[in-house]
Amino acid sequence: MQLTSEELKTYDLQGYLLLPNCFAPGEVEVMRAEASALCLQDFAGKILKRDGKTVRMIHGAHLENKVFHRLVRHPKLVKPIMQLLGDSAVYIHRCSLNFKPAFEDTMWSWHQDSSYFCKNDGMPTDQAAIAIVFLDEVNEFNGPTLVMPGSHKEGLINPITEEEESLAIEEKQYLKSRRTQYMLSRPTVTKLVEKYGIVAPKGPAGSVLLFHPSCVHGSAANIMSPFNRTIAVIAYNSVENIPVAVENPRPEYVASRDYRPIEPLSEDVLLQAV
């Protein structure tokens, strides 16, 4: 699968591109079963919610599980990603499963992934690309990813506003303590929404959302709906954008230091026996 020049242009303009029904229902079934199985296993990358029971995230699903090891190498993802990154060879920076169960309040504040990639992981530039694979239908009611189209053109945005910069150190620290790292402030979000608006790309299970790491995004809770929303989030990086060493690197399953380029596998790899 190759992106058309029209699709490449759309991605460049909007910072994201939705590919509906990229994977077939049978392939989705396989991935969903493996995601459920992973929830029952114990390993460092498994992150629970505050209740100590509900799984919020599984970091490094591709390192723990054969199907996700294959998914991140699937040609339907790798080939378009290579196109988006200037036909460069790519490696896997990270892969996680993000769970947003029915009636749960898990949410993600507005942020840019590039803040983490560049500031925490040492990527020289934001020239990476993310593929989100929908393992459930994503609809208006189960907390779809919200995107500000075109916001990737801003580059890295300072999560602290100019007004906040001028506050006393204590107040600044207090504000910081109330946010997750790199969560954008409300005044910043307000200004960005005025400029770029919000869209919520939706689609059936098996759809893929490609997006730029500097594209501002987040998602609301799934508190009202009886529909689970599980997604696989895979960040690819160009081998020409290999991170520099950082002082306190995040764990391997969050930010990989295995820079070997990946080779796309065959189209039917998800349906092959494990």
Q: Is 215 in the site for a copy of itself (CB under 8 A)?
A: no
Please say which residue, 57 or 102, places its beta carbon nearer to a copy of itself.
102
> Which member of 1, 221, 239, 265 binds a copy of itself (CB under 8 A)?
221
- Compose the 158-187 pattern: x for residues touching a copy of itself by CB under 8 A, - for all others: ----------------------------x-
> Which member of 1, 8, 193, 269 binds a copy of itself (CB under 8 A)?
193
> Which member of 37, 224, 242, 271 binds a copy of itself (CB under 8 A)?
224
> Which member of 190, 240, 267, 274 binds a copy of itself (CB under 8 A)?
190
Q: Is 233 in the site for a copy of itself (CB under 8 A)?
A: no
Please say which residue, 45 or 218, places its beta carbon nearer to a copy of itself.
218
Provide the terminal-to-terminal Cα distance of the chain, rounded to the nearest Å: 24
> Which member of 102, 156, 175, 269 binds a copy of itself (CB under 8 A)?
102
Based on the number of CB atoms within 10 Å of its own CB, is 274 exposed (0-12), middle (13-18) or buried (19 or more)?
exposed
For residue 216, give both structure tokens.
Answer: 């501002």
> Which member of 110, 117, 196, 253 binds a copy of itself (CB under 8 A)?
110
Please say which residue, 72 or 189, places its beta carbon nearer to a copy of itself.
189
Q: Is 228 in the site for a copy of itself (CB under 8 A)?
A: no
Please say which residue, 46 or 56, places its beta carbon nearer to a copy of itself.
56
> If we measure between CA atoms, which residue out of 17, 111, 93 comes closest to residue 250?
93
> Which member of 103, 158, 181, 251 binds a copy of itself (CB under 8 A)?
103
Q: Is 140 in the site for a copy of itself (CB under 8 A)?
A: yes
Q: Is 54 in the site for a copy of itself (CB under 8 A)?
A: no
Interface positions with a copy of itself (CB under 8 A): 102-103, 107, 109-110, 140-141, 146, 186, 189-190, 193-194, 198, 200, 218-221, 223-226
